[in-house]
Every structure is written in C-alpha cells, then in structure tokens.
Structure 1
C-alpha cells in the first residue's frame, strides 16, 4: 500500500479519536497484509469484519498525534515481513498453536485458494491479500459496536483505495451484507445484486474486480459447499 493509503489510514484514526466518546477503552488498528506473490496475478483479496487484540499494545482516543502516529507505525510494521518471507506466513506457522485450524474464515480461504489456484499447503497464503472492513477494533476483544463503526469515517474510502491499489480480480467479504457490507457499498456508490439464499448474500462488479459478500462465517458450516458457491461466482 502506498503513501496515499497511509495518509487515509491516519485520517481514519484521527476521525475515530475525535468522534468516539469512549475515552478509557483501548483500541487496535489493522493494516492490510499482502502476500509476497500476490502482485503476480492479483488473484484474491479476502476481507473480514474487524480484528481485535491484533497488536501488542493499543491506543486511546485521548492519545496525542505523536502516540497515534506510533500506533500507525506499529500496525504498518505488523503488516510487513522481513527479507524474502511472506507477510502472511504467520497463518501457516500459527495454524495449530493459535487455533487457526478451527477458524471457518481461514479454512475456507485456505481450501479455496488451493483448489482454484493450484497452490500447496506451504504457499497458498502467498497469493492473497487480507484486509478488514473496519480498521479499528477494541484491543481487549469483540467487534466494534455501532458507535465505534460510525466513528470510522473513512472506512468506505479505505475499501475503495484497496480496490484501486491492489486491483484484485476477486474480492470476498466474509462479513454479511446487511450490517457490514451494505453501508460500505452505499457510501462508496457500489451497486450490488442480492442473492436470496445460500452462503453468498450479494455480488457486485467494480472496475475489473468481482466482489462477493457471504454470510458471516461460523463453525459448523460445510466448507466445501461454501467453496463450491464461491467458485461459481469468481472470475
């Protein structure tokens, strides 16, 4: 992500600090992570709702700009890898120790990428990019509430910037339509088609990107059935 994205990211953090009255609560910011071979084909951008407890330390809305800048730098560093390593290798290395093997989100992505793009257990993570609709979440857990979502004034603009800079052929929002994707689409001016039933709730096209919105992921759903639905809609 380039400097214009970082500038927008900072605007979102400052707006959040100015608009959120929860002065004692700690928050964490998330910066998109791009696999080391993503740019070879721009195959897939996967998007979740929000990530709580993401960074080792949080920030408060009462922090001064210097402290907010330091938190942005920390989130940026967390999105990078050293040397030739892939920034998303942590998913593989922590698959068991962090219980990611129980995550519906990561299981479907992992199996989908292997199936559609002929990747292996070792390199599937290298061809994707990962982001979240909300870049700020409570440090101690749970998704941002309605007040905290509304305080993120630039969430839609950041989503659009990701589409513009990453140019993904496919974008999958594992978020649900009504409460998460729809407000972003409406603010961004993205027209979408709803799907009446099934795992997929809506689809859209923006530029050369095929955008797919799914139900909120949960344990117990059949992975392969969900993958089959996604494969029918992807380009």
Structure 2
C-alpha cells in the first residue's frame, strides 16, 4: 500500500505545476528498526539530505519506488546508521543533532534501556513530507502543497502498518496543521512551552496516543524530554 501511494505521489508531482523542474530532490520512506517493539514512532518535518536524488524533468518513478521499498540482499537495520554515526569524527555525527539526542533519551526512557543498548533499532522513524531538497533544508511551501495529500495518506498507512503505542511528532503545530484531521482529538498543553498538544488518534479501529512537540533544535533538551513523557503519561 505504501508503494502504491508513493508512486502516485511522484507521478502527481511530476505532472504538477511545480516550477523548479531542475531542482535536485530526494525521496524518503519510513524507516523501521529491526528490533521495533511497537512502543514508539517518531515523525519529523522532512528529511534533511537523503539518498535517491532525482529531478522532475528526468524522473523514473518505478526505479525510485523500487529502490525505496526493496529489501537489501544482506538484511540490516535501516536505523543502524543513527547509532553507528554517534560521535563520528568523519561525516555526519548524530550526537551533534538535537533531534537525535532527544530521541535517544526518549527511546531509552520508554523502552527502559541502558545507555549501551540499541535504542534506534527500537523505533520507527518517518517524516510528514517525503520529498525534500537533496542539498538539505526544508521543502518550500509550494513543494509541501503539491505532495500534502499523498503524504497525509502515507502517514495513515504507516500508522496502520506499524501500530505504535505512541507517536511523537517533532514538528510543532505549524507543520503538523492539516495532517490526520479526521482521525485525531487534540488537547493543547497551555502550561507547556515545548509540547504544543497531546491527544488520541483513532484510525480504522486502531487507537494510539500522540504528542506534538516543537522541533528540538535550540531547545532545552532535558525539559523537552520531561514534557513529552508527562504528555504521554
């Protein structure tokens, strides 16, 4: 089901009036850790640099979808790179990312892990928007608009497939606005500075807790972790 919706997303984007046809874009699909235990799903705004680059004026939809969803010849955890890059002195160091630092503490707390256990492999990680500039940075309002409907449907399918006990959106309400409208009941956290809302999501008989937190960049991380855990409780 994810592949079908993703193929429609790319085909519709190719046929759209999006003007920057030569822009190098990248496509992302949800990543499920090999030790995922249905406890928590993490959702960000959009990926900041990723593989599978393409341009709308020269795009092979089937090739991109097959690369995204094909299983590797040698099975490996899709989120192993997050742990192996922790403290890396070459390339991307995940320990320098506030996003991953907060998620690590969240996973360790929810999954009751020690600091040396495989915290990332217990998660599912996704993003609201699947198509972003390959050079980094968030997709423009225009690019978000052309992919919104398909991304909303993809998010629903992901949730139904992974069935997490809770979902934490590190997006802020401004980015989350419009997603899952028919499936959620939200309560604002007026006393909270770092959690915008919490609530319940109901989707085809499945029910889960959700928390909408601000993006961790530049925020007091210990406070954010405590507010998220409080909202989930």
Task: Give me the TM-score of the superposition, normalised by structure 1.
Answer: 0.87
Counterpart contact for 1:80–1:87, Cα < 8 Å:
no
In structure 2, which of residues 6, 9, 20 is the aligned counterpart of residue 12 of structure 1? 9
CA distance in 2, matches of 1:160, 1:80: 25
Map of 2:66 onto structure 1: 73
CA distance in 2, matches of 1:15, 1:63: 14
Structure 2 unpaired stretches of 5+:
none
Cα deviation code 1:112-158 (max 9, x no counterpart): 11122122333111211000000000111211010000010311111
CA distance in 2, matches of 1:118, 1:205: 23
In structure 2, which of residues 19, 22, 25 is the aligned counterpart of residue 24 of structure 1? 22
Are 1:114 and 2:108 an aligned pair?
yes
Q: What's the RMSD between the two structures over aligned residues?
A: 1.9
Deviation at 1:81, TM superposition (A): 8.3
Structure 1 unpaired stretches of 5+:
none
Within 5 Å, which residues of 2 pair with 1:90-101? 90-97=81-88, 98-101=92-95
CA distance in 2, matches of 1:11, 1:26: 19
SS at match of 1:154: helix
The total of aligned residue pairs comes to 222
The structure carrying a bigger strand percent of its residues is 2
